[in-house]
Structure 1
Amino acid sequence: MSALRWTRGAAGLGRVLRSPGPHRPASEEGPLSGLGSSRRRSAASPREQAVQREWGHAELLEVLEARVRQLRAEGAPEMRVKKVQVDQPPQGRSSRWAQKLEAEKKVKQRHQAKADLQKQPLESRTLHTEPRIRSKKLAGYLHQSKKGAPKSSEEEQLARVLQAVLAKLGSREAGTPARTKAKAVETHILFLQQKLRTFFECCVCTGQLPLAHHMLVTHHNNQDKQQVLTLDMYNMVLLGWARKGSFRELVYVFIMLTDAGLSPDLHSYAAALQCMGRRDQDAHTIQRCLKQMAEEGFQPQLLFTNLVLEEEDRAALLRAVVKGEPAFCPPPQASNLVSTPVLLKDFYSKEGPVSYPKLHLPLDTLQDLFYQQLHVELSSSVSVQSVEEAPVMTKEVIEARKTLKALRSKWEVELLRVLRETKAKMGSQAYEGQPTLYPFLCLLSEGEFVSILMQALQVLPAQGEPLFQLAQNLGLQVFNRHLVKQKQVTNHVQKLGQQYSQYLRLLASDTQVAPCLPREYWDSLGSLETPAQQPWSVPVLLQLGKQLAELLVQAVQMPRSLAARHGAQNFIPVLYHVYSFRSYRQVGILKPHPAFTHLLETAAEPTLTFETTEVPMLCPPLPWTSLHSGAYLLSSTKIMRATEGTTQHQRLLERCPPAQLHGALDALTQLGNCAWRVNGRLLDLVLQIFRDKGCMRLGVPPPRSEAPRPAKHQLPPGSTPVHKSELRKELARCLKAAREMHSLRSEALYRLSLAQHLRDRVFWLPHNMDFRGRTYPCPPHFNHLGSDLARALLEFAEGRPLGPRGLDWLKIHLINLTGLRKRDSLRMRLAFADEVMGEILDSADNPLTGQKWWMKADEPWQTLACCMEVAQAVRSPDPTAYVSHLPVHQDGSCNGLQHYAALGRDSVGAASVNLTPSDLPQDVYREVATQVEELRQQDAKEGLQVAQALEGFVSRKVVKQTVMTVVYGVTRYGGRLQIEKRLRELSDFPQEFVWEASHYLVRQVFKSLQEMFSSTRAIQRWLTESANLISHAGWPVEWVTPLGIPIIQPYHRESKIQVKGGLQSITFTSSVDDSQ
């Protein structure tokens, strides 16, 4: 007996099956004979049938052979049979069963290899470093560098390869043409590029250069994927290897860049020279690189003038250039150029020192405030005590807070576990060549990610939040914290502290330095500017934010007993993903479980959390010195705010000569250097009303519990469809009112909590501008622009004596705030203030218990603040010496119409907006309302029902908003909505006429404006027609303001963009077109 192992061929097994003996079935055909019976009934010749039988047996036996190999792989024991003779099957033909089994075998091997790979640590995996080069010359150069070169000469070989690559740039071989930039890139390709670019950026920031290089090689080796790669991506990896001093990998990237048909730019050469400077490369290689730069039109001086470099990068670059050109000397820092706009040339060209106002605080105090602000920005968030009335500490409240604390501890652990699992999974996919979110999840520590998610869960509203908005906010938080962390990793924070201490000597009240502008003084101290990081695109933010939101949904659970007392003792999700219709669109929403919302309301925790950029600064902001440097100490701030994803504004500003923007930079710096404080006495009154159910008439929103409720919750039996419709409309109105009240209440809560937090402190409001050049404070919740209440809460931290006529102007300002004497002259208003001095003093002394005269004013809270200031000035021993801190807000008389009237030399229109001398002030809104009323009276006499219904309701307030916004391009539709809102606020007006009356009034308003401002409307039509012609030519509308600010209106056709995967696919509309 001899052993026949299971690894013998199929033909041998066939002979075994056909041989006589105990192992062979008694039947000649056997139990498998039916499989080939249909073939044996065919009309084939006996010889053909014999061949078919042989092949049928061969196929079946190969199946059995594969099964034998499978059993052997699984550890099956050997079987011994008698030695038999075997026949070889016919050669030269392939079996479909064999092909199928071989394919299954390969799939199984790939799955096994993938499983084995996932078990390995990410750091120990083998990554691709050498690219597949299509250019024969470049491939030959690379092959020669590896061909048996000893280690001592490896660097010399690589240097020769780099020289050959540089030489090849001047004369590209056929078949490797330079890639030209497409005029328009398809949307999905553009977003792939944005994601891949950010992937490389994150890899370089987190030190995962092998992964970035592996991804670059993977895409370069695939001809279709290679088209997605841009020069910017190659440059990022080049810079990463340059900072590491890895010459071999840098040469590989340079070869890939050239092989892809791209030409190196200034950033590419800077990276190569930096690497050479760090490795002390030979002078010949550096000279060849500098020569190629010159042939491309790049002089060495441009490396130090056109690029923003970190200190170490600049030093390495300078070492290399000096070694290649010993006589080279870096160009000096550009001197302060004179601002080019004609409007400012005289101001900036004056010789001699510039007087700049100092702050009222000494140097030591300002330095302490700087360290407080630095601590706030390093922590990335600010915790503020809520001004909501604290609940009575009942047993229920204590138990709710205890439960929340226990749940949060558990959620943090679970979030950490889920985050690590997700990172491991995405890391494996990234190492397989897929650009996943893995490097994004490495930007911050795991604890920081958990903190961001826990904070998002805390502020999630009871009605839920759209997934689009939540994901975008989460992505932005990660991006902003990443920027702060990058400054911490470098030596930026320490240098900032040293330079800011010197800068404070210009502002402090007890120091003396040569007077100059803050921008000029900061520049004289040295540059702290770091290479600007391009903001992440909206799809990238959404993809990252959506992934984090999914982690929150997956990890955060609570006991079912919190929702149902007698439920099972298992866990249920805290967040649910639901769909809702908003404005006829289906929107995905993350909504908290009602039991969780109830738990938060019961606990009534007294803390609110804000991002650093949402609160005022505790020290003077950094002066605006460039597009990327200014405002907050560490947090990134755009100088020009725009829609997320819009880049045209930034590119337009970057193309401007630096001196052209000096006026705008200095104006923003001066606005930010104004110190503020809270009006404590007024804040106490507002808090008293806020905690006592509010007062809508005074602009203090009541709580949601005071929202209107429908009279009937259920319909009586036999109700008609009309009754059902009316109840449905009433329910919708009540629900809308409740949501609006909740939103207004939350806004007031944020503002008042921040005011209480900053009470008795000095703070600053950094400023930036919108894309039209209008300035705004950066903190959104608490600033001097906004409602009457927001303005009244703030005072100047540094006061000024009233002087000889200051008290008179303060009284005139007070009457202006009341709105009671709009048509009177200034002298008449001053006399009226003296007449009502008793009411003014009573309002100041007894605001809530006296005559309450201030409550009847148009701006009640500002009126009350001014009453208190007047009372203190009048009662002071010397009113002229009284130091006042009250801001006086000024506004133009319909400023848009003023500009149009001046442009068109429209004397009639100019008179109505106070551009011509007049004894009495003019009120364009009242004039329009008067003319509309005259037209209404004529129509009413002719029997028009809607004109009759409007009798007594056409007022200045009804038409004001529409008149104000006509010059900004409001349409009749928009104007009708504005008037409809004003009419609904009139309780006496018959609501059934609102829709018809709003249509009627908007027609009359436009007609009146056409008659009063004929030149204005003609100019407006000309501008509109010009914009249409420009846009039809394929260009956005651009202009330059008198201050030299370039303006662009990048309005494009909206396109729908979809971010797929996860909880849902997010589809949003975008009007951004980066190709223009």
Structure 2
Amino acid sequence: MYRLFRFQSQIKNGFPQIVLIDKPHLLKTANFSNIPESIQTKILIKTKQFKRNAKRFSEVVQVTNSVTSQSKVKVKHLKPNQVQKMVACKKPLAMFPKTEKSNDCSNKLSIRTISNIKKNSLKEALLDDIDEMNEDQISLLKDTEFLQTITMTENDIENKYAPGHLKGEQDIYNSIELPKSKDKLSKRERNRNIAVKNKLELKEAVKQLNIKGREKSLNQTLLAYIDLCVCCGFLNRGLAALNHYCYKSVSNKVSLKITDIRIFTCLMHGFASKGNYEKLKEIWSLLELSQTKPNIQAYAAAFECLVNKKEPCSSDILRGLYNQFLSDGFTLNNLFENCIYIGNQREQVLKAVQLLDPSFEPHLSIENIYYSCPLLDHLNSQKSTFKCPAEGLFDEKNILECARKQLESEMSTIVKVQSVDNNSTPSQKVLDYRNKLEDLQEKWKETIRNAIARELESIRAQHNCLKSYRNVNIYPYLRVLNTEQYVDIIIQEVRKLAEGSETFSPTVNLLYRNLANQVRLRYQIKYKKNTKILEKMKAVYTDYCSWYINSQNYDSQNTRQQWQQLVHKYKGIGADIEQDDKQWPSTVLNSVGKFLYNIIIKDIKIDVNIMKDHIEEEHLLPAFYTVFRGQCQHVKQEIKPHPVLSKLYQLSEPNDLIFDVTMIPMLSPPVPWTSINSGGYIAAKADLIRLPQQAILQWHRLEQTPKQELYPALDALNQLASIPWNINKPVLDVVLQVFRSGGSSKLDIPKPVSAFPSPQPILQSMSKDERSRLYKERAILKRQKAEMFSLWCDALYRLSLANHFCGKTFWLPHNMDFRGRVYPCPPHLNHLGSDMARSLLCFAKGEPLGSNGLNWLKIHCVNLTGLKKRNSVKERLQYAEEILPDILNSAHNPLGGNMWWAESENPWQTLACCIEISHALQLENPENFISHFPVHQDGSCNGLQHYAALGKDFAGAVSVNLTPSDIPQDVYSCVAAMVERERSKDAANDVVIAKYLDGFVRRKVIKQTVMTTVYGVTRFGARLQIAKQLKDIDSFPKDKVWSASTYLVSKTFESLREMFTSTKEIQDWFTECARVISQSCGQSVEWITPLGLPVVQPYNRRNKCYDYSKKSSVKMGEHFILDMYDRPNVMKQKNAFPPNFIHSLDSSHMMLTSLHCERAGITYVSVHDCFWTHPNSVEIMGKICREQFVALHNEPILENLSNFMINKYELSNYDITNDTQDMLNVFQQLPKKGDFKLNNVLDSVYFFS
């Protein structure tokens, strides 16, 4: 017999509740849950409650003579004829038993223990006064036994019971038996079951990724926090936080673990410096509690602590520590070879060791400084050939004085540069506005001081009330600098905001991070100063500068090797120069930036009547406010200044600009890169790789890579950074004259915003169409003004810096992007900019022109005009002789003559070359002229050159000048000719659009499409490119642009496939490999360049967007996004792989050329695929360039990539299944190659020309 009830699931107090429906008078409820009671309380308190959708169930009570059983099944509706089916699918309620409690809690404290801790700890007041902390570095909490440093109550305990009874979602699903049936499942049902299983597996994989990401981010956040606590002297605050997180990590199996041992050793060294051995033992206990084995750094801290104790060190304790040290497999010498020290830690550890063995002296071996790359093995055996790039420019005294000035600039973190905008004497009105602004800033400074004190007091009060000091919080980050430094940072940010664009502002999160980075930069410099790292750096850098100027007296082969030898020389004393980089996570940067910006928004006021002389009444309003702008489908919050404030800054006409020290060139040689954390500036921090904040996977790969394998890339950066520069003063004078005269559209010098006409007023008498037209014109004018203002500011910064460095010698430190492409660190004044930017720079060290130098200057001048691209070198030189009068006229009278240079493709570089030729011809013997001018050699569509070499395409190789020829081949003209050939055929066959295109298939029309083919341009993108070119042709019918562009795209791609037979196959193979890796393997695409640099594509799908604006002002977020634990963005991964891989190859070619040019003793710099050198060394550089291209492509690049992917994803070790076999097939299906002989490149004059 069956008795049927119907009931409905409801939610009460956050848990399901069964309400019987059929018999209201028998209404009863039953609460049930699979969640332990210890966690239920936590959920009720912390979890936001959501209304669940009502679910109906049917309950069956089966009664027989001997047994009564009860079961339930979920249904939407129930009919009598479905009862039997329901019975067949019933699930016994016993499947969901109430969870039993368990008190078997290993590594946990009982409730009674915690209560006792509370009672004892409440007797000890929490001393949170900063002055007392600075007086006594360990007075935050009084010394107590282990775990008495924090106060806890019963409510502080989470998850009191052992978590073994918890089951994941996958386990629950697995425990439910599927209904059995005599009939086999249909194919549709089997597919459904497989899909459900795959979905569950994916969900579980994503869940595990999320857990790992949260754990990694927590460790990084805690490491930065502990480091700050130690630096500020808040040692017990750091210990309280470590206790808190260690307890949480062991109290529950699903809690996040503390796995980074640097967190423990950092705090150990903090207490060791105070000789507090009891606290160090507590940390050691936490280390063991976290099931982490002590490393050599932990033992170093212990030895240091024993020596620093106030009472004499016990020999028994020291001997016991030593025995444990030996049992863990360490030797005494490991303490000095494998540890990183600051301050006097090394000396203190040595004292402890010599108490054990008085005769001990550390033996420090120098690290391997030679290459392990097969392409560079031959350089290891060469004798020293380093030639100082600044030879003859300085003596030792002068270079050391420049180094002193550079270090002073870095210590101040900012540099003031006089603006070139206004060179006239300011009027009295301007001076009045400046005085008002100065008075206003003084009032703001006092306001900011008070606001900071108020907010810090508020945080201290919350700490005492909420015990939030146990969590990572913002407090130490606001005490790491003195108040005046925070005031200066905010005042500089106020000026930056007030002088910003009227139409654009970065988003608030970007503003937060940029402002917090100012705090971080100052902290890093303060840290280096306090820990005596800077003292050691000054000693090493002084010796390095002396070597740099007198390198002929030493045997080092390059700057890196010399720096490593000098570091080894000083390694036995003091702090280590190279330290672990403890990055501030994005959560920290956003929290610190938000704190400071809250002061800007809430406290800084302006009198809106300040500009009105006749009104004395003060009317204060916020100086800044927030606005929300729509960007595509999103709304972005931005911060804007009050219009009165913007006008005040504008009318005061500031006569200086402020730059961060890392944004401008250096006055002395950059520090050579010797590892991923050491190089660039002397005291300031520079990043080796330019990556987004969340992209840490490539950093992880770099850390795993042996330093020796990174030497080629690091040495290329060092070589480029070692070249000193000067400002080309004659060109700068002309550019400044044009800039101050209002700019020039023809010469690409931006005009000031004041040059734009005022918009036509809109009158009520106008018609609707007229008003609509004027509104559109106003919108266009507003956009144009905003664009021009941006360009004008860029030119102002560049020219002001050029004027500031005019007459000085400077250097450009370099770093690279994730593919290995190289860039100068200073963004405004460098040789990678526009035509005008490049014309301003020349080599500081000059070289005689020699026999062919003048000819190369003339050829280069013609190359810059773009007039003779299809002509031979001989014909270009002949043309230069013909136009020599125009060249000299341009040099002697740039703005008043015939201005021949202004018609060039690159007018400013052409003018610079004209001036150099003119100066050379003034000498009786031009061969003796000392030239500082860089001559360029450009690759011929360099991306296609690499594709042709990879695929051994003969036809493609010919078209991109990989083969010898009398005249240069132009790939764009070749493709245009092939397209025209096909168009002619179609026109003969009466294809209408082909007839319309007669005479319009030009080189310029298809050039951009051909150029971007190597970068994976789509058909749609190529159609837009060609349509834009056709629209610019006045005689082409506008109504045929779209159909014509569609036709030309098809013909262009067909012609490229015909010319580069294997290029498309290689691109397709790259794309398919990337799809398999990112989609099937669920990982980002990685590879290693031929020079050993690991590359990871940083394109991922964000699993979660963190809203930093909702975090409290006290407790910061502990978790942030990390790309290594996110799912890859399949579309971006596969589309970006072909161009990124080619970019990594052209970077490898550039680096090889750089290293061999340095060994040849010639000057060399690069702009990606454009190489620069002195006129007298063009032939040498060209020969090296060709040789290294051949050497690079003689390597089995595609085969190595295939093997790397097979080994990386462990396909060789798999039990081969259908899926893994498919992946293996993709990786092994290498594109077929042609019969082109690479050695032909050695004789190609126009390979780079």
TM-score tier, shorter chain, comes to 0.7 to 0.9
Q: Does structure 2 conserve the Cα–Cα contact (< 8 Å) formed by 1:690 and 1:700?
A: yes
For each residue in 1:106-154, what CA deviation from the matched residue of structure 2 results, as whole angstroms up to 9, or x when unmatched? xxxx9xx99x9899777488638658779xxxxxxxxxxxxxxxxxxxx
5+ residue gaps, structure 1, are: 1-109, 135-172, 176-180
The answer on 1:452 being equivalent to 2:489 is yes
Q: Does structure 1 conserve the Cα–Cα contact (< 8 Å) formed by 2:609 and 2:618?
A: yes
Alpha-carbon distance change, 715 to 830 in structure 1, aligned in 2, over 3 angstroms: farther
Give 3-state SS (helix, strand or coil) of 1:624's partner. strand
Q: In structure 2, what is the Cα distance between the partners aligned to 1:457 and 1:284?
A: 60
Select the residue among 213, 217, 226 that pairs with 1:200: 226
The corresponding residue for 2:301 is 271
The corresponding residue for 1:700 is 749
The answer on 1:1073 being equivalent to 2:1106 is no
Q: In structure 1, what is the Cα distance between the partners aligned to 2:548 and 2:886?
A: 42
Select the residue among 509, 532, 539 that pairs with 2:587: 539
Alpha-carbon distance change, 990 to 355 in structure 1, aligned in 2, over 3 angstroms: same
Q: In structure 1, what is the Cα distance between the partners aligned to 2:1063 and 2:897?
A: 48
The answer on 1:632 being equivalent to 2:681 is yes
Give, as a single letter, the amino acid of the residue that structure 2 aligns with 1:259.
L
Select the residue among 484, 494, 497 that pairs with 2:538: 497
Give, as a single letter, the amino acid of the residue that structure 2 aligns with 1:1011.
E
Q: In structure 1, what is the Cα distance between the partners aligned to 2:1010 and 2:677?
A: 38
Q: In structure 1, what is the Cα distance between the partners aligned to 2:1048 and 2:131?
A: 70
Select the residue among 236, 252, 257 that pairs with 1:210: 236
Alignment map for 1:335-346 (pairs within 5 Å):
335-346=367-378
Give, as a single letter, the amino acid of the residue that structure 1 aligns with 2:283.
V
Q: Does structure 1 conserve the Cα–Cα contact (< 8 Å) formed by 2:726 and 2:843?
A: yes
Q: In structure 1, what is the Cα distance between the partners aligned to 2:345 and 2:1009?
A: 56
Give, as a single letter, the amino acid of the residue that structure 2 aligns with 1:468.
N
Report the TM-score when normalising by structure 1.
0.79
Select the residue among 395, 416, 437 that pairs with 2:449: 416
Q: In structure 2, what is the Cα distance between the partners aligned to 1:450 and 1:931?
A: 66
Alignment map for 1:995-1006 (pairs within 5 Å):
1001-1006=1048-1053
The corresponding residue for 1:84 is none
Give, as a single letter, the amino acid of the residue that structure 2 aligns with 1:690.
F
Give, as a single letter, the amino acid of the residue that structure 2 aligns with 1:317.
V
The corresponding residue for 2:968 is 921
Q: In structure 2, what is the Cα distance between the partners aligned to 1:714 and 1:189?
A: 64
After alignment, is 535-544 or 339-348 more displaced?
Answer: 535-544
Q: Does structure 2 conserve the Cα–Cα contact (< 8 Å) formed by 1:1051 and 1:1071?
A: no
Q: In structure 2, what is the Cα distance between the partners aligned to 1:663 and 1:725?
A: 61
Alignment map for 1:471-482 (pairs within 5 Å):
471-482=512-523
Select the residue among 261, 264, 270 that pairs with 1:234: 264
The corresponding residue for 1:1046 is 1094
Alignment map for 1:496-575 (pairs within 5 Å):
496-508=537-549, 512-514=553-555, 516-525=557-566, 526=569, 527=571, 529-562=577-610, 569-575=618-624
The answer on 1:383 being equivalent to 2:416 is yes
Give 3-state SS (helix, strand or coil) of 2:1123's partner. coil
Give 3-state SS (helix, strand or coil) of 2:1086's partner. strand
What is the root-mean-square deviation in Å for CA atoms of aligned residues?
A: 3.6
Give, as a single letter, the amino acid of the residue that structure 2 aligns with 1:820.
L
Give 3-state SS (helix, strand or coil) of 1:235's partner. helix
Q: CA deviation at 1:709?
A: 6.7
Give, as a single letter, the amino acid of the residue that structure 2 aligns with 1:127.
L
Alpha-carbon distance change, 975 to 268 in structure 1, aligned in 2, over 3 angstroms: farther
The corresponding residue for 2:336 is 304
For each residue in 1:751-782, what CA deviation from the matched residue of structure 2 results, as whole angstroms up to 9, or x when unmatched? 00000001111111111222212221111100
Q: Does structure 2 conserve the Cα–Cα contact (< 8 Å) formed by 1:767 and 1:776?
A: yes
Give, as a single letter, the amino acid of the residue that structure 2 aligns with 1:600.
Y
Give 3-state SS (helix, strand or coil) of 2:671's partner. coil
Alpha-carbon distance change, 203 to 1070 in structure 1, aligned in 2, over 3 angstroms: closer
Q: CA deviation at 1:667?
A: 2.2
Q: Does structure 2 conserve the Cα–Cα contact (< 8 Å) formed by 1:550 and 1:1063?
A: no
Report the TM-score when normalising by structure 2.
0.68
The corresponding residue for 2:430 is 397
The corresponding residue for 1:864 is 911
Q: In structure 1, what is the Cα distance between the partners aligned to 2:740 and 2:870?
A: 38
Give 3-state SS (helix, strand or coil) of 1:1058's partner. coil
Give 3-state SS (helix, strand or coil) of 1:483's partner. helix
Q: Does structure 2 conserve the Cα–Cα contact (< 8 Å) formed by 1:506 and 1:513?
A: yes
Q: Does structure 2 conserve the Cα–Cα contact (< 8 Å) formed by 1:363 and 1:511?
A: no
Q: Does structure 2 conserve the Cα–Cα contact (< 8 Å) formed by 1:356 and 1:515?
A: no
Give, as a single letter, the amino acid of the residue that structure 2 aligns with 1:560.
V
For each residue in 1:552-601, what CA deviation from the matched residue of structure 2 results, as whole angstroms up to 9, or x when unmatched? 11221111314788796331011001111123320000000111111111
Give, as a single letter, the amino acid of the residue that structure 1 aligns with 2:273.
R
Q: CA deviation at 1:791?
A: 0.8
Give, as a single letter, the amino acid of the residue that structure 2 aligns with 1:571.
L
Q: In structure 1, what is the Cα distance between the partners aligned to 2:337 and 2:1048?
A: 60
Q: In structure 2, what is the Cα distance between the partners aligned to 1:1002 and 1:268?
A: 65
Q: Does structure 1 conserve the Cα–Cα contact (< 8 Å) formed by 2:760 and 2:774?
A: no
Give 3-state SS (helix, strand or coil) of 1:310's partner. coil
The corresponding residue for 2:1197 is none
Alpha-carbon distance change, 358 to 718 in structure 1, aligned in 2, over 3 angstroms: closer
The answer on 1:1058 being equivalent to 2:1072 is no
Q: Does structure 1 conserve the Cα–Cα contact (< 8 Å) formed by 2:259 and 2:290?
A: no
The answer on 1:441 being equivalent to 2:478 is yes
Give 3-state SS (helix, strand or coil) of 1:244's partner. coil
Give 3-state SS (helix, strand or coil) of 1:1009's partner. helix
The corresponding residue for 1:255 is 285
Q: Does structure 2 conserve the Cα–Cα contact (< 8 Å) formed by 1:618 and 1:762?
A: yes
Give 3-state SS (helix, strand or coil) of 1:889's partner. strand
Bigger relative contact order, structure 1 or 2, given CA contacts below 8 A and separation 6+?
2
Q: In structure 2, what is the Cα distance between the partners aligned to 1:1053 and 1:296?
A: 43
5+ residue gaps, structure 2, are: 1-118, 134-138, 149-161, 165-206, 1128-1249
Q: CA deviation at 1:670?
A: 1.8
Q: In structure 1, what is the Cα distance between the partners aligned to 2:993 and 2:617?
A: 63
Q: CA deviation at 1:240?
A: 1.5
Select the residue among 691, 702, 708 that pairs with 1:642: 691
Q: Does structure 2 conserve the Cα–Cα contact (< 8 Å) formed by 1:384 and 1:609?
A: yes
Select the residue among 889, 893, 906 that pairs with 1:846: 893
Q: In structure 2, what is the Cα distance between the partners aligned to 1:592 and 1:991?
A: 45
Q: Does structure 1 conserve the Cα–Cα contact (< 8 Å) formed by 2:300 and 2:349?
A: yes
Give 3-state SS (helix, strand or coil) of 2:913's partner. helix
Query: Greater Rg, structure 1 or structure 2?
Result: 1
Q: In structure 1, what is the Cα distance between the partners aligned to 2:1041 and 2:597?
A: 43
Q: In structure 1, what is the Cα distance between the partners aligned to 2:1028 and 2:318?
A: 71
Q: Does structure 1 conserve the Cα–Cα contact (< 8 Å) formed by 2:211 and 2:256?
A: no
Give, as a single letter, the amino acid of the residue that structure 2 aligns with 1:576.
Y
Q: In structure 2, what is the Cα distance between the partners aligned to 1:219 and 1:1044?
A: 39
The corresponding residue for 1:652 is 701
Alpha-carbon distance change, 252 to 788 in structure 1, aligned in 2, over 3 angstroms: same
After alignment, is 293-302 or 345-354 more displaced?
Answer: 293-302
Give, as a single letter, the amino acid of the residue that structure 1 aligns with 2:285.
I
Give, as a single letter, the amino acid of the residue that structure 1 aligns with 2:448.
L
The answer on 1:330 being equivalent to 2:344 is no
For each residue in 1:622-651, what CA deviation from the matched residue of structure 2 results, as whole angstroms up to 9, or x when unmatched? 122222222211111122222223222222
Q: In structure 1, what is the Cα distance between the partners aligned to 2:1041 and 2:445?
A: 53
Alignment map for 1:750-899 (pairs within 5 Å):
750-899=797-946
Alpha-carbon distance change, 353 to 878 in structure 1, aligned in 2, over 3 angstroms: closer
The answer on 1:912 being equivalent to 2:959 is yes
Q: Does structure 2 conserve the Cα–Cα contact (< 8 Å) formed by 1:539 and 1:1059?
A: no
Q: CA deviation at 1:490?
A: 2.9
Give 3-state SS (helix, strand or coil) of 2:678's partner. coil
Q: CA deviation at 1:191?
A: 4.6
Q: In structure 2, what is the Cα distance between the partners aligned to 1:863 and 1:453?
A: 44
Q: CA deviation at 1:511?
A: 8.0
- Give the fraction of aligned pairs with identical amino acids, expressed as a percent: 37
The corresponding residue for 2:670 is 621
Q: In structure 1, what is the Cα distance between the partners aligned to 2:163 and 2:319?
A: 27
